[in-house]
Homo-oligomer: A and B are copies of this chain.
Amino acid sequence: MAPRERADAARNRRAILLAAHRLICENGVDQVSMSDIADAAGVGKGTLFRRFGDRAGLINALFEQLTEDWEPEALDRLGDTAAEPVDRVVAFIAGLFDRITVPGRPLLRAMGAHATPERVRRYRIWQSRLADVIAQARPDLPEEEAGFMAYVLLTLPRADFVDLLEGGGMTIDDVRTRILSHARLTVTGRPC
């Protein structure tokens, strides 16, 4: 078993995550260097790199932090057979949008390009769980079709896609509404 994390190490880890999050939100993820983050956190670069390995590791840790208190509950609700399957699917996408895409946009913006194995793994879990529920909603569909739908629905609440839509004149609420109604339409196969 790994020994308990030393108090100073834990304190610095928190300071780094906090500073990184703040700087990225203020300046955009690729206007922030690792030295900036170390300085703002009041630690040396060595500390930062030892803790998180490299830049991708730090970004990944920020992503973990963003998802960790949403994901378990969201997956539970997705599997909760008390509600209609289609409603569960739409609610999952809504939660993803509200809890991850919107608050994490400055962070997520540059992440698509450098998807780490860890994030791809998590993404696939979501896809697979969604596919199950879509298959429940649409027993008429071939299995792979449900799987593909899950991929499509998950690709809508992407930071760069939302950016594009906003740049085209939609408000963030318009974007949310459109994505969700498109999701419902896709799953049910008929207009809402």
A123 and B191 in contact (CB under 8 A), knowing A109-B113, A152-B156, A182-B148? no
Cα distance A190–B149 when bound, in Å?
14
Residue of B nearest to A154 (CB): B164
Is B164 touching A123 in the complex (CB atoms < 8 A)? yes
A189 and B191 in contact (CB under 8 A), knowing A113-B110, A113-B112, A113-B160? yes
Is B160 touching A115 in the complex (CB atoms < 8 A)? yes
Residues of chain B contacted by A120 (CB below 8 angstroms): 164, 167
Give this chain's copy count: 2
Interface string of A123-153 (1 = CB under 8 A from B): 1100100000000000000001100110110
Cα distance A186–B149 when bound, in Å?
11
Q: How far is the CB of A116 from chain B (nearest CB, A)?
A: 13
Q: How far is the CB of A96 from chain B (nearest CB, A)?
A: 16
Nearest 7 A/B pairs, CB to CB: A113-B113, A148-B178, A110-B113, A112-B112, A112-B160, A155-B161, A112-B113
Instruction: List residues of A whose CB falls within 8 A of some B CB.
Output: 109-110, 112-113, 115, 120, 123-124, 127, 144-145, 148-149, 151-152, 155-156, 160-161, 164-165, 167-168, 178, 182, 185-186, 189-191
Given known contacts A145-B178, A189-B190, what 4 new A-B pairs fall within 8 Å (CB)?
Answer: A110-B113, A113-B113, A152-B182, A189-B191
Q: What are 21 A-B pairs at a CB distance below 8 A? A: A110-B113, A112-B112, A112-B160, A113-B113, A113-B160, A115-B160, A120-B167, A123-B164, A124-B168, A127-B168, A145-B178, A148-B178, A148-B182, A149-B182, A151-B164, A151-B165, A155-B155, A155-B156, A155-B161, A189-B190, A189-B191
